[in-house]
Amino acid sequence: MSYSYLPLVEYRRQWIFNHHEMPVPDTDKADIRPLTNQSAMALWNRWVSNKSSCAEDFNKGDWALRSSTWHHTDTWQSQWESDDPELPRPITEFITWDDATRVYFCIEKYEILETSWAVFKRHWKCFLFCDDGPLLISTQHRQAIWFTQDGNYRLGLRG
């Protein structure tokens, strides 16, 4: 499926990639692509949920609510607050995607950012300024990460 994108400078939360403490270089910003509302909706409906518009509204039939989906839960908040730029180790051990793998940071039905796994790994702290229950998925792989507002994440396999 082909998606349409907004320029990053038009993205309403583009400030998260310009934060003075965690600036993202222009070369990486070029690979952070906000989907248009229509493209985000199409991706969300196909890969996340065709019933719910955000993580808070997931319904019984959504793969993200099945207990069998999630294999590991841990905290991201302490790593985010530390000076260490690396993702928590359990995430990098679970997600073994090639750096060029396209990933989708799904904030809600109409707000999804596409980037590469490499860019997400380098700037995950910026992405998590949006911590309202976003999911990180790849349409090429079943592994998924659900970041929750309470500072935890879940690792699992999409159904």
pLDDT at 20: 87
Q: For 154, list phi and psi in degrees, rounded to 5.
A: -125, 140
pLDDT band at 1 (very low <50, low <70, confident <90, very high): confident
Q: Model confidence at 43, in pLDDT bands (50, 70, 90)?
A: very high
Tell me, what's the pLDDT at 53? 93
81 — pLDDT class (breaks 50, 70, 90): confident
Q: What is the Cα–Cα distance from 127 to 105, expressed in whole angstroms?
A: 8
Neighbours of 144 (CB within 10 A): 24
Average confidence (pLDDT) over 76-103: 92
Alpha-helical runs (H) found in 35-116 = 37-43, 77-81, 89-94
Question: Contact 119/31 with Cβ under 8 angstroms?
Answer: yes
pLDDT exceeds 80 at position 159: no
- The predicted-structure confidence for 90-122, as pLDDT tens digits, reads as follows 999 999 999 999 999 999 999 999 999 999 999
**What does the alpha-carbon distance between residue 24 and residue 17 come to, in Å, rounded to a whole number?**
6
Q: Which amino acid is at 24?
A: V
Contact (CB, 8 A) for 62 and 51:
yes
Query: What average pLDDT is seen over the chain?
Result: 94
Confidence band of 143 (pLDDT split at 50, 70, 90): very high
- Residue 84 pLDDT grade (very low, low, confident, very high; cuts 50, 70, 90): confident
Residue 37: predicted pLDDT: 97
pLDDT at 12: 93
